[in-house]
Amino acid sequence: MAQAKICGIKDAAALDAAIRGGARFIGLVLFPKSPRHISLDTAAALAARARGRIDIVALTVDAPDAELEAIASAVRPDWIQAHGAESTARTAALRRFATKGVIKALGVARSADLAAAAGYEPVADMLLFDAKPPPGGLPGGNATAFDWQILAGRRFSRPWMLSGGLTPSNVAEATRISGAALVDVSSGVESAPGLKDPTRIAQFLAAARH
């Protein structure tokens, strides 16, 4: 049984499906290059609808302080997800923009990539292991998976989340192989890039739960 984050929420229908299905987190993408990017006003409205019902994650990519201050003021996220090349020092500095903590995403293609986690464990409240993007690709949401066996038996001092290429049909296997207690999905519950499908969200959450 794994708890889940539905990332890239853009409308109330997807948000409500995530809450109804028992997701622990929703992700609001504030990165203009992503097809899941939403305006600050939309993020604020969705956060207001979600507050107190589900944890709100604001996903950013190497965002400057001015942008993060605007997000903190308008959205008031529970978590900031740092999905870029943020250093350990920068990750630690992001803590003040969230009420609960910072999630640091790390790209993984092979076992050696997990070594980077050691530097972030003291400064992040949670880790997220995502498939390393292809050359020139976006930092996340690429619908690609890595070898889940890499994580089998590994222990970290922070909670960690599995991401990358997860779908309703493979999430149960992914958690069984990797040992993940937390999973993150975006493209795997979409009918088109950036367009969440409430039915697929429900299917994913049911599969993750059982």
Give the C-alpha separation, 122 to 135, whole Å.
29
Among 55, 78, 130, 184, which one carries the catalytic annotation? 130
Give the C-alpha separation, 102 to 97, whole Å.
9
Which two three-digit tokens encode residue 103? 């999630």
Among 7, 55, 78, 184, which one carries the catalytic annotation? 7
Give the three-state DSSP class for 135.
coil
Which two three-digit tokens encode residue 78? 């529970």
Which two three-digit tokens encode residue 35? 């097809």
Q: How many CA atoms lie within 13 Å of 125's alpha carbon, on the beta-carbon side?
A: 15
7 is catalytic: yes
16 is catalytic: no
Q: So which residues are the catalytic ones?
A: 7, 130
